[in-house]
């Protein structure tokens, strides 16, 4: 059986995304932090890790991108998982004045929270917030999590579908020590940094245009080492072992201070 590490408690969206991604039975292993999730696979305690990297409402998960820079693991897959937030607790909605959840979930439900004038308390995980609510057992305290978490911890759902936008998806990356073979419908993720020179980023982006490669995402993150310097995270269509992509990466490398290929993997679709 495949072992997959995820961040959070049982019933977390990461765990649900992992079960959806792998067609066979898996054993999920929970960890408190994203760093521990990746470390478990690096040390062969699990075969795969799953990491949330961006949400359609709240944008990128910065901590995940920072860890992608330093990990030795390869990205071998991606998954888009629909997020359906519920307000969970023992009281009625007009009794609730305090809501617990992960900061991303609180942001994704900001309109609902503000409309009901609830105080927010950030937690380490959505499913973990259900455990907190159960232990508190206070009618004025509720949390935001999934239906699955409500069932697992046996705490009632007060309200369903409370996100700002019901078209709410989180993109997850699957990481392992393995590499994915070419499928003909692939995506590649890279990180690079550039010199502070006029046109340096343009020269890199120009390669995608010249080679007719579809660039699907570009984002910058602070380097954490030098103030106001950035790493660029880029996703594009194609596989690194394809000759055209391989040649393009060599050309890009010449104009970068640093380039890391995170991995090539089958491109996923919204489910």
Whether 31 sits among the annotated catalytic residues: the reply is no
- Architecture of the domain made up of 186-266: 2-Layer Sandwich (3.30)
Residues 6+ apart with CB under 8 A from 89: 96, 133, 139, 141, 142, 143, 155, 156, 158
Pick the range with the lowest mean pLDDT from 38-52, 54-68, 234-248: 54-68
Whether 6 sits among the annotated catalytic residues: the reply is no
Enter the DSSP assignment of 220. Answer: E
pLDDT digits (tens, 9 = 90+) for 196-229: 788 889 999 999 999 999 999 999 988 877 777 7
Of 6, 21, 172, 208, the active-site residue reads 172
Question: What homologous superfamily is domain 2-83+168-176 in, according to CATH?
Answer: Periplasmic binding protein-like II (3.40.190.10)
Per-residue pLDDT, 240: 97
Tell me the CATH class for 85-160.
alpha beta
Per-residue pLDDT, 271: 66
CA distance 77 to 187: 9
Of 76, 120, 170, 256, the active-site residue reads 170
Going by pLDDT thresholds of 50, 70 and 90, the confidence category of residue 135 is very high
Per-residue pLDDT, 199: 85
Q: What is the mean pLDDT of the chain?
A: 95
DSSP string, 202-216: HHHHHHHHHTT--EE
Rounded to two decimals, what is the model's pTM?
Answer: 0.92
Give the domain ranges of the chain.
2-83+168-176, 85-160, 186-266
Same fold, 2-83+168-176 and 85-160: yes
Per-residue pLDDT, 200: 87
What percent of the chain clears pLDDT 70, i.e. is strictly above it? 100
């Amino acid at each position: 059986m495949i072992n997959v590490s995820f961040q959070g408690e049982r019933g977390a969206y990461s765990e649900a995304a992992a079960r959806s991604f792998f067609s066979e039975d898996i054993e999920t292993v929970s960890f408190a932090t994203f760093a521990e999730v990746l470390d478990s696979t690096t040390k062969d305690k699990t075969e795969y890790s799953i990491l949330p990297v961006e949400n359609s409402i709240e944008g990128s998960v910065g901590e995940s991108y920072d860890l992608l820079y330093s990990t030795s693991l390869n990205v071998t897959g991606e998954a888009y998982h629909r997020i359906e937030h519920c307000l969970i607790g023992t009281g009625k909605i007009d009794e609730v004045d305090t809501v617990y959840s992960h900061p991303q979930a609180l942001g994704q439900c900001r309109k609902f929270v503000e409309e009901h004038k609830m105080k927010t308390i950030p937690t380490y995980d959505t499913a973990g917030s259900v455990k907190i609510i159960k232990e508190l057992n206070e009618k004025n305290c509720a949390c935001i999590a999934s239906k699955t978490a409500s069932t697992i911890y046996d705490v009632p759902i007060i309200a369903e579908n409370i996100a700002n936008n019901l078209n709410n998806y989180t993109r997850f990356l699957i990481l392992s020590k393995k590499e994915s073979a070419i499928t003909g419908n692939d995506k590649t993720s890279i990180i690079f940094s550039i010199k502070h020179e006029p046109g340096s980023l343009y020269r890199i982006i120009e390669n995608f245009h010249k080679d007719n490669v579809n660039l699907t995402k570009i984002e910058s993150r602070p380097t954490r080492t030098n103030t106001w310097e950035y790493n660029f995270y880029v996703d594009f269509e194609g596989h690194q072992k394809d000759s055209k992509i391989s040649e393009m990466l060599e050309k890009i490398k010449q104009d970068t201070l640093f380039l890391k290929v995170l991995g090539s993997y089958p491109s996923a679709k919204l489910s």
